[in-house]
Chains A and B, each alone.
Chain A
Amino acid sequence: MNLEAVRAIYRFEMARTFRTLLQSIVSPVISTALYFVVFGAAIGSRIEQVEGVSYGAFIVPGLIMLSVIVQSVNNASFGIYFPKFIGTIYELLSAPASFLEITAGYVLAAATKSLAIGLIILATSFLFVDVTIAHPFAMIAFLVLTCLSFSLFGFIIGIWAQNFEQLQLVPLLVITPLIFLGGSFYSISMLPEIWQTITLFNPVVYLVSGFRWAFFGMADVSIGLSLLAILGFTALCLVTIWWIFRTGWRIRS
């Protein structure tokens, strides 16, 4: 096992994060603060409690998920796309490192960054609303798993993308709609019945629901199902990445 390679990639990627600290950390925090102001304070004041939780607090898990998922995908996809774009990928391909080690380096770095952002947003939310966390360990576990699985997903996007447009395409056209329609800002029980059924095909529903359970002890779907969904998604991403490296798809001629 070439752990030095994992460490080298991780460090190099984290250095990039620190070089672009403002863009990396500050901008998601500001945009989240805006969500709190708009949804929490302005609109939220007109909405009754949702299942016993004030609307402002209710959207906290969804907001964190929104940022964490988008950030994980963006960080990891850019992390591996950039070496492809500038040509430094030759070094990764010629190194005595396995797919697992290279992926681990990039994905851990991307997940670390989005985890930090998630925690910062959580801390920010305390300034705006009164949030309690019923199951803190489960909350952290869900957060970490989400960061990891969507960083894996982003890594795949970064390898797949052949230009900057494609790099933006999946987050924009797939991820963002899934998150917004995944119950980030509402409980799916608020939807008409037919939409409740359709929504169950959205994997993000399970994540947000599980995460919300960790905060408030209530969920749209069972916590076991949420856990299964996220583990299944992680496994799917891992298998895809293993296949990519085995065949050299889009990275090795």
Chain B
Amino acid sequence: MDDIVTVSGLGKRFASGFTALRSVDLSIRRGEILALLGPNGAGKTTLISSICGLTTPTSGEIRVGGHDVVHDYRKARALVGLVPQEINLEPFEKVINTVRFSRGLFGKPRNDAYIDEVLRKLSLSDKRESKVIELSGGMKRRVLIAKALSHEPRVLFLDEPTAGVDVELRKDMWRVVRALKDDGVTVILTTHYIEEAEEMADRIAVINDGEILLVEEKAALMRRMGQKQMIIELQEDVTEVPPALAGYDLHRNDDGDLVYTYDAKADRTGITRLLSDVAAAGLTLRDLQTRQSSLEDIFVGLVGKDPA
């Protein structure tokens, strides 16, 4: 499949000495929704800032639509729209003027029909003559998206589009992103909410400590994420998994408990049968707990340490 954004060997070390990115390689496919997932401070914003021209990389190369973002920045940037994390808007300007401004800034001649269409899709039509300062937080976020879309970009970066946003608005935002994808726009969104990535993305890239840990189809990743573990604490000390329970995906952990791994989304989890077999084997339950394998678990699995 052809890639619209390719990042190779990208590194960024700030003047303060802080290394935000270490040799990042990432290919973003044309037309996909890619979720860039990672904890705070992982390097998500630095990565998209580098692609969009806000940050000067220390090393590596970035191409958008085949154009180098440094040497051929005009062509590269013309393809890119950026919705920043913070609500950065000129407060006293009218919505329509601030959106028109963005279009002009990106070198496109005025096109009111197109701008009106963008505002309509974002449910901003009746706010077009309002001053930005008069809008609610959610509406301001929409204005940011309208600005980013004003010059008809082929790639849209959404930096934490739903951070601090209520549930309704979040769902609204998701609808908007899906509609963009339907229009053929490639969308990259950064988030630290696993549900958001699950809801929206075609592929998920996990970033931590300035490194891309994995890039995977959502479906495959979710299968891993969907696994749950049940920890069975027994009255008796067992040194190994009892032979009577050998048919289950069981192992013994360091505390001497039995750990059962199962797919929480499967029709049958096998829990009932396992517990009756535990009783039938003459074992007594002291306690039971289950836990969802989470993003953190994936981190632990990938890097062998907790994401801090």
Chain A interface residues toward B at CB < 8 A: 2, 4-5, 7-9, 11-12, 15-16, 19, 82-83, 86-88, 90-97, 248, 252-253
Is there an interface contact between A252 and B55, defined as CB atoms closer than 8 Å? Answer: yes
Contact at A93–B14, with CB atoms within 8 Å? no
* B109 contacts partner chain A, Cβ-Cβ < 8 Å: yes
Q: Are B54 and A252 in contact (CB under 8 A)?
A: yes
Q: Quick check: A88 and B88 within 8 Å, CB to CB?
A: yes
Q: Which B residues are in CB contact (< 8 Å) with A88?
A: 88-90
A-B pairs with the 7 shortest C-beta distances? A8-B104, A87-B88, A96-B74, A96-B77, A2-B107, A94-B52, A95-B105
Interface membership of B121, Cβ < 8 A:
no
Residue of B nearest to A102 (CB): B105
Complex formed: what's the CA distance from A15 to B86 in Å? Answer: 24
Which of B91-99, B216-224, B242-250, B263-271 lines the interface with chain A? Answer: B91-99
Closest to B12 in A: A253
B164 nearest CB across to chain A (Å) = 16
Interface residues of B (CB under 8 A from A): 14-15, 49, 52-56, 73-78, 80, 82, 84, 86, 88-93, 97, 100-109, 147
CB distance from B93 to the nearest CB of A (A): 7
Q: A5-B104, A15-B97 are in contact. Are A86 and B89 (CB under 8 A)?
A: yes
Q: Which of B88, B100, B108 contacts A86 (CB 8 A)?
A: B88
Report yes or no: B88 in contact with A96, Cβ–Cβ below 8 A.
Answer: no
Given A15-B93, A83-B90, 15 extra CB contacts under 8 A: A4-B105, A5-B106, A8-B104, A16-B92, A90-B52, A91-B102, A91-B147, A92-B105, A93-B53, A94-B52, A95-B107, A96-B74, A252-B54, A252-B56, A253-B55
**Nearest-neighbor residue (CB-CB) of B78 within chain A:** A96
Who on chain B is nearest to A12 by CB?
B101
CA distance A157 to B106 in the complex (A): 26
Q: Indicate if the CB atoms of B107 and A97 lie closer than 8 Å.
A: yes
Q: In the complex the two chains form, what is the Cα distance from A97 to B75 in whole Å?
A: 10
Q: In the complex, A88 Cα to B83 Cα: how many Å?
A: 11
When distances are taken between beta carbons in the complex, the residues of chain B under 8 Å from A91 are 82, 88, 102, 105, 147
Most chain B CB within 10 A, of A16, A86, A88, A248, is at A88
- Check if A87 sits within 8 Å of B77, measured CB to CB: no
Q: How far is the CA of A249 from the CA of B226 in the complex (A)?
A: 47
Q: What residues on A are CB-neighbors of B106 within 8 Å?
A: 4-5, 95-96
Distance between Cα atoms of A86 and B56 in the complex (Å): 21
Which chain B residues border A87 with CB–CB below 8 Å? 84, 86, 88
Query: Within 8 Å CB of A94, what residues of B?
Result: 52-54, 77, 80, 82
B84 touches A4 (CB 8 A): no
List 20 interface pairs A-B (beta carbons < 8 Å), by A numbering. A4-B106, A4-B109, A5-B106, A8-B101, A9-B104, A9-B105, A15-B93, A15-B97, A19-B92, A86-B88, A88-B89, A90-B88, A91-B102, A92-B105, A94-B54, A95-B105, A252-B56, A253-B14, A253-B15, A253-B49
- Which residue from B49, B102, B104, B109 sits with its C-beta under 8 Å from A11? B104
Determine the chain A residues whose CB is within 8 A of the CB of B101 once the complex forms.
8-9, 11-12
Given A12-B93, A86-B89, A88-B90, A5–B55 Cβ distance below 8 Å?
A: no
B65 → chain A closest CB, angstroms? 12
The residue on A at minimum CB distance from B100 is A8
- In the assembled complex, the CB of B158 is this many whole angstroms from the nearest CB of chain A, namely 13
